[in-house]
Chains A and B, each alone.
Chain A
Amino acid sequence: MIEARGLTKRFGSIVAVQGVDLSVGARGIVGFLGPNGAGKTTTMRMLTGFLPMNEGSAVVCGFDVFEDPLAVKARVGYLPETPPLYPELSVGEYLTFTAEIRGVPRAVRLARVGDAMERVGLRGFERRLLGSLSKGYRQRVGLAQAIVHDPPLLILDEPTSGLDPAQLVGVRALVKELAADRVVVLSTHILQEVDALCDRVVIIHRGRIVGDGTVTALADAAGAGAWTELVLASADNDAAGRLAGLPEITSVEALASDGARKRYRLRGGPGHAVAVSALAAARGWPIEALVPHRASLEEVFLALVGSES
């Protein structure tokens, strides 16, 4: 759906995006993650044809953004960070206008507008003025205009920013639903959001991609992978050495112990937990807890961003 090579954008002497390569397939939700000012919005604006790139190229939905921008624009649904609404218009008037400029044929326009409103939960809001809507409903209208022409690719810039928790849950569920039959690329600086929504994370920092993959794959790459917490009620003094001697275990780190109780942070390959419990049984160490921990996205993010700077 997206094939971008070496995307670079400069504003004067500031390099906002530098050499971004991105390849997105035909399904799923891809999350752009990065702190504010990392270049997420600029990248999205280049992919939608709003901003021309200084260097590089992007093929979106089979068309070159620079050579054939109208063909790309006809196939992309885009929600900028602030929903682009005209406060004077009603929801129905606005969506009809966006359907018109997106080339939805007159014969199906009414049906498409109704369908878009239905999908984002705006039924019965047709006559409401956009200026009178709450932030959550503005966001819904913004999503409705992005899907009114049923695009195969949806690009959403911070779709949940500024929403209250209830609206946030609603919009996330909606995005997930919309992704069932199209590709969604969304940006966010909220780590949990990526965790909750995205099949794949692209981490952008200072205009460059510093990580790309599933959360788990990124965790491994960043060296912040999964670990297992082992708590023994009592153990021999050489327990750490014996644990490290297991072939399945790659590292053992003793954590703070209180009294006889000992705690370890273990890393290892598949089956290491089984090997550990077998060893403990053989040595007569009572296991209090053996807890697998997945690397949090925070750890991954900090590891990647830290290694960059």
Chain B
Amino acid sequence: MTGSSGPASMGRAPGFVGATLAVTRKELRVYFLSPMAYVFLASFLFLGGLFFYLGVALTGEASLRATMSNLAVALIFCLPLVTMRSFAEEQKAGTLELLMTAPVPLGALILGKWLAVLALCGVLVGATGVYAGILALYGDPDPGVLLTSYLGLVVCCAAFSAAGLFTSTLTRDQMVAGVGAILLLLPFWLSSTVSSYLPAWAAPVLDWVSFLEHLRSFARGVIDTGDLAWFLGFTGVFLFLTWRSIESRRWR
């Protein structure tokens, strides 16, 4: 029975990279054909413009330090708009069955979806390049600091989208997945705010949990390997949980 007859075109798996990119292309196509991507971009850029103006006008310094941490917080609320549909909708529409019965490794499926969210974030981060342009036009910003600030924003996108993908695997309901992602991300923002009210021993732990603390070095123009590792670890953990979640759903 091995090697059943058939034309040369059949019986191949697309390969990991090919499958990943096919999924990414499909995701991006669906994003830009549905209103969600535009709602995400518009809401984020509105907030971004506001934060940029306030940040520069209030501090009077030609840097994106304040803007970036505010934008990162805005991502907590905007990025779930994009990630909430990714697995929830596939489960609801039954298209997950298509993807899971095609010769696509689960890792390629998850990576493909994550890369699509990241590409959308790339459009967004690219659009905020206007701020850097304005700073360069009217002030004298440090280009190195600008670059690391942007890198900080990118690693935030990577981490938050992984968390968003994870909550999207837990339910067939997009809204639940979206709100779930926000609720999941909130502690990683608020923990440093809470830390000042808690006993001294707890403060460093809570600070460590907060992404804002890890974003500081990027805003200062430093790439701290510990902080970078925090974001990459966060991303890795949630991509892994996404994988585990889908695997375990098959058994139920």
The answer on a CB contact under 8 Å between B22 and A97 is yes
For the complex, is B43 an interface residue (Cβ under 8 Å from A)?
no
For the complex, is B4 an interface residue (Cβ under 8 Å from A)?
yes
Q: Which of A12, A97, A104, A108 has the largest count of B CB atoms less than 10 A from its CB? A: A97
The answer on a CB contact under 8 Å between A89 and B33 is yes
Chain A residues positioned under 8 Å from B58 (CB to CB): none
Tell which of A47-55, A164-172, A256-264, A280-288 binds the partner.
A47-55
Chain A residues positioned under 8 Å from B33 (CB to CB): 88-89
One of A70, A80, A112 near B97 (C-beta < 8 A): A80
For the complex, is A74 an interface residue (Cβ under 8 Å from B)?
yes
* CB-CB nearest in chain B for A2: B1
Q: A80-B94, A80-B98, A85-B95 are in contact. Are A74 and B10 (CB under 8 A)?
A: yes
Chosen A-B contacts, 22 in total, with CB atoms closer than 8 Å, are: A12-B252, A45-B97, A48-B101, A49-B100, A70-B13, A73-B103, A74-B10, A74-B11, A74-B12, A75-B11, A78-B101, A80-B98, A81-B94, A84-B93, A86-B30, A87-B93, A88-B33, A88-B34, A102-B14, A104-B9, A150-B7, A151-B10
For the complex, is A62 an interface residue (Cβ under 8 Å from B)?
yes
* Interface hits, A82-127 → B, CB 8 Å: 82, 84-89, 93, 97-98, 100-105, 108, 112
Chain A residues positioned under 8 Å from B14 (CB to CB): 100-103
Q: A70-B105, A100-B18, A102-B102 are in contact. Are A59 and B1 (CB under 8 A)?
A: yes
For the complex, is B244 an interface residue (Cβ under 8 Å from A)?
no
Q: Which of A100, A108, A145, A151 has the largest count of B CB atoms less than 10 A from its CB? A: A100
B1-38, CB under 8 A of A: which get 1 and which 0? 11111110111111100110011011001100110000
Chain B residues positioned under 8 Å from A98 (CB to CB): 98, 102
Chain B residues positioned under 8 Å from A85 (CB to CB): 93, 95
Chain A residues positioned under 8 Å from B102 (CB to CB): 73, 98, 101-102
The answer on a CB contact under 8 Å between A86 and B95 is yes
* Interface hits, B82-106 → A, CB 8 Å: 93-105
One of B3, B26, B105 near A97 (C-beta < 8 A): B26
Q: Closest approach, in angstroms, between the C-beta of A53 and any C-beta of chain B? A: 10
The answer on a CB contact under 8 Å between B30 and A88 is yes
One of B2, B5, B26 near A152 (C-beta < 8 A): B5
Chain B residues positioned under 8 Å from A50 (CB to CB): 97, 100-101, 250
Bound-complex Cα distance A71 to B3 (A): 10
Chain B residues positioned under 8 Å from A87 (CB to CB): 93
For the complex, is B201 an interface residue (Cβ under 8 Å from A)?
no
For the complex, is B197 an interface residue (Cβ under 8 Å from A)?
no
For the complex, is A140 an interface residue (Cβ under 8 Å from B)?
no
For the complex, is A76 an interface residue (Cβ under 8 Å from B)?
yes
Chain B residues positioned under 8 Å from A73 (CB to CB): 13, 101-104
Bound-complex Cα distance A102 to B22 (A): 10
Chain B residues positioned under 8 Å from A62 (CB to CB): 1-4
Q: Rank and list the top 8 A-B pairs by shortest CB-CB distance, nearest first.
A: A84-B98, A103-B12, A100-B22, A103-B14, A62-B2, A62-B1, A74-B103, A88-B33
The answer on a CB contact under 8 Å between B12 and A152 is no
Q: Closest approach, in angstroms, between the C-beta of B24 and any C-beta of chain A? A: 11
Chain B residues positioned under 8 Å from A84 (CB to CB): 93-98
Chain B residues positioned under 8 Å from A103 (CB to CB): 12-15, 18, 103
Bound-complex Cα distance A52 to B3 (A): 23
One of A75, A86, A100 near B4 (C-beta < 8 A): A75
Bound-complex Cα distance A73 to B109 (A): 15
Apart from A100-B22, A103-B13, what 7 extra A-B contacts exist at CB < 8 Å?
A52-B250, A61-B11, A74-B10, A86-B30, A101-B19, A103-B12, A103-B18
The answer on a CB contact under 8 Å between A11 and B34 is no
One of A1, A45, A48, A74 near B13 (C-beta < 8 A): A74
Bound-complex Cα distance A83 to B3 (A): 29
The answer on a CB contact under 8 Å between A150 and B26 is no
Chain B residues positioned under 8 Å from A74 (CB to CB): 10-13, 103
Bound-complex Cα distance A236 to B11 (A): 69
The answer on a CB contact under 8 Å between A105 and B12 is yes
One of A1, A70, A145 near B1 (C-beta < 8 A): A1
Bound-complex Cα distance A20 to B62 (A): 71
Chain B residues positioned under 8 Å from A70 (CB to CB): 13, 103, 105
For the complex, is A149 an interface residue (Cβ under 8 Å from B)?
yes
Q: Closest approach, in angstroms, between the C-beta of A149 and any C-beta of chain B? A: 5
One of B9, B19, B97, B99 near A105 (C-beta < 8 A): B9
B159-185, CB under 8 A of A: which get 1 and which 0? 000000000000000000000000000
Bound-complex Cα distance A11 to B252 (A): 6
